[in-house]
Amino acid sequence: MGAHPTVRAEEQQLRCVMLLAAVVGPPLAGAFRERPAKPTAFRKFYERGDFPIALEHDGKGNRIAWKVEIEKLDYHHYLPLFFDGLCETVHPYQFFARQGVHDMLEHGGAKILPVIPQLIIPIKNALNTRNRKVICTTLKVLQHLVVSADMVGEALVPYYRQILPILNIFKNMNINSGDGIDYSQQKRENIGDLIQETLEVFECYGGEDAFINIKYMVPTYESCLLK
């Protein structure tokens, strides 16, 4: 004898509910998940003593003392290595990389432009770590790089497709604190604001093609020059 139609309908309904209960949402894509960088060439060279730098402790904190004049350094060899160290998060590697990059950009002049293609991979690696502090440091370094010498901003334009996608992910990372004060803004550690600042610097120093290339990679960016 077959089951009663009412019982059959109830069984079907129960099966449907169980199927619905088994449906789960898609897994997290992990766009914001931090991805620690593998050991850098910077750390290897530093531990071998290949860098002409020493750490000095003064009353204000730490400072770099150069054993060789920066003007005499081979920028093709050292500058990419220092940029590679931007991924570091541990002292003293992080400090040396950051301060070393700053000093070399400040005093490099015309020696910086020919090295730009070799800097793109280290910059991309630093941004791809998705570590907030590393990204903030890298953005400040990018701003310094663009203004460090003539034509550097324009030389970076062909590489926007490699370095801007990560900025697109973090561009809206601004805290909604209501009427509270966001101190990370005045300390220049707010990623959303830093990205906006960096893109504006890129546009100012990147020449005529800069805006369209930025817009292609970061569609929500609005020009700061064409207003």
Partner 1 sequence: MACVSRVDGNAKPKSMSRAKQWTGEVENLYRFQQAGYRDELEYKQVKQVERIDRWPETGFVKKLQRRDNTFYYYNRKRECDDRDVHKVKVYTY
> Does 208 sit near partner 1 (CB under 8 A)?
no
In angstroms, give the least distance from the CB of 181 to partner 1: 22
In angstroms, give the least distance from the CB of 55 to partner 1: 11
The token duo for 164 is: 């801007």
**Are the C-beta atoms of 99 and 60 separated by less than 8 Å?**
no
Contact letters for partner 1, residues 67-86 (x by CB under 8 A): xxxx----------------
Rounded distance, CA 105 to CA 112, Å? Answer: 7
Nearer to partner 1, 103 or 193 (CB): 103
Nearer to partner 1, 10 or 106 (CB): 106
Nearer to partner 1, 52 or 192 (CB): 52
Residue 66, C-beta contacts closer than 8 angstroms, at least 6 positions apart:
52, 53, 103
φ, ψ for residue 204, nearest 5 deg: -65, -40
> Does 107 sit near partner 1 (CB under 8 A)?
yes
Rounded distance, CA 195 to CA 205, Å? Answer: 15
Nearer to partner 1, 58 or 179 (CB): 58
In angstroms, give the least distance from the CB of 187 to partner 1: 15
Number of residues that bind partner 1 (CB under 8 A): 15
The token duo for 53 is: 């730098």
> H helices within the chain, ranges in order?
5-22, 41-48, 75-84, 93-108, 116-128, 132-148, 152-156, 160-170, 183-186, 191-205, 210-217
Interactions with partner 1, residue window 50-69 (CB under 8 A): 54, 58-60, 63-69
Interactions with partner 1, residue window 160-179 (CB under 8 A): none
In angstroms, give the least distance from the CB of 109 to partner 1: 12
In angstroms, give the least distance from the CB of 85 to partner 1: 18
**Are the C-beta atoms of 71 and 164 separated by less than 8 Å?**
no
In angstroms, give the least distance from the CB of 60 to partner 1: 7
Neighbours of 149 (CB within 10 A): 17
Binder of partner 1 out of 43, 89, 103, 113 (CB under 8 A): 103
Q: What is the total residue count of the chain?
A: 227
Which of the stretches 88-96, 100-108, 130-138, 155-163 binds partner 1 when contact is defined by CB under 8 A?
100-108
The angle formed by the CA atoms of residues 82, 97 and 45, to the nearest 5 degrees, is 60
Chain residues in the site for partner 1 (CB under 8 A): 54, 58-60, 63-70, 103, 106-107
